[in-house]
């Protein structure tokens, strides 16, 4: 809990520095976010995912890569909490280590696709003319195909592997961010404060990167958080089809694929990884809804 003095400093109507003003806005945003219990549930799920990924060697009770043949297809028990697969590997341990793969994919796609979409969309909206036409038609070409189908095509062309899967997903994820950035740019391009920035001597690059792009970030943050669930599902789909992480590395989509042949008799092999995918996807959706209420009140 914050002290009364710190709270008064954060909520001051007359901040004495830029740092105090920014800290106050962040604190007000957190208060608004914390009033949404579902958003807090999503944040808890994300924190659990991060903890699992970081402390996987201490949380997992068994080796996730190798198992004993005498432990094949065992149901959930005290020794194997979620049962074992057809190679005798502990399902719970593989789910825990699979959290690393999921978090890795989500983070890499977020830090690659969002900036690319922001630069393309903001540039198109600010420059206009033939530059806007070319960039937006390129965006439309990517949007013409379903994300999963396009990701499958890229992954098949690039080959199986974690890095190739991330690249394939990122290549399909940036167009919506470009559309949002362009719309935000068009709404502020001819505003008074942009004219004031030009009068002070700011060049096009400074206006684009220093004024326009920062204003597009809140909308992109909301969209990225909402898209994470879809990215997780696409990654799981690639893993299910053998175009994701190379075996025997644990990945939730490939784990579901490995258990589909025994789904009626040994249901736990694919059921628990599927539940993990659903829970994490739900968590990102809940976080996205909470961030939308905080950062984009018009979308509430």
pLDDT for 300 beyond 50: no
Give percent of the chain above pLDDT 70. 98
pLDDT digits (tens, 9 = 90+) for 173-224: 899 999 999 988 888 877 777 778 778 777 788 888 888 888 888 888 888 8
CATH number for the domain harbouring residue 268: 1.10.3720.10
* Domain membership flag for residue 4: no
pTM: 0.87
* Domain membership flag for residue 201: yes
* Domain membership flag for residue 131: yes
Cα–Cα distance measured from residue 224 to residue 244, given in angstroms and rounded to the nearest whole number: 21
pLDDT digits (tens, 9 = 90+) for 154-172: 888 888 788 888 888 888 8
* Domain membership flag for residue 247: yes
- Domain residues for the domain of 198 are 21-299
pLDDT digits (tens, 9 = 90+) for 53-74: 999 999 999 999 888 888 888 8
What is the total count of domains within the chain? 1
């Amino acid at each position: 809990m914050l002290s009364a003095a710190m709270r008064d400093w954060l909520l001051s109507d007359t901040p004495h520095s830029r740092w105090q003003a920014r800290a106050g806005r962040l604190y007000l945003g957190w208060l608004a976010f914390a009033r949404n219990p579902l958003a807090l549930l999503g944040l808890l799920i994300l924190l659990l995912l991060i903890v699992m990924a970081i402390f996987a060697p201490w949380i997992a009770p068994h080796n996730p890569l190798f198992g004993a043949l005498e432990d094949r297809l065992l149901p959930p028990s005290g020794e194997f909490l979620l049962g074992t697969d057809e190679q005798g590997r502990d399902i719970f341990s593989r789910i825990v280590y699979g959290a690393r793969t999921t978090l890795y994919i989500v983070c890499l796609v977020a830090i690659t696709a969002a900036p690319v979409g922001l630069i393309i969309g903001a540039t198109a909206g600010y420059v206009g003319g033939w530059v806007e036409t070319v960039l937006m038609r390129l965006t439309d070409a990517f949007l013409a195909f379903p994300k999963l189908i396009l990701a499958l095509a890229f992954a098949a062309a690039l080959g199986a592997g974690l890095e190739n899967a991330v690249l394939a997903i990122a290549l399909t994820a940036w167009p919506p961010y470009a559309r949002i950035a362009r719309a935000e740019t068009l709404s502020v391009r001819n505003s008074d404060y942009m004219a004031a920035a030009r009068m002070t001597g700011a060049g096009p690059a400074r206006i684009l990167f220093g004024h326009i792009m920062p204003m597009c970030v809140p909308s992109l943050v909301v969209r990225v958080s909402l898209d994470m669930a879809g990215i997780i599902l696409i990654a799981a789909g690639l893993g299910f089809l053998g175009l994701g992480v190379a075996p025997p590395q644990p990945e939730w989509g490939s784990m579901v694929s490995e258990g589909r042949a025994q789904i009626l008799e040994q249901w736990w092999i694919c059921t628990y990884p599927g539940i993990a995918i659903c829970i994490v996807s739900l968590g990102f959706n809940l976080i996205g809804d909470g961030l939308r209420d905080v950062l984009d009140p018009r979308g509430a």
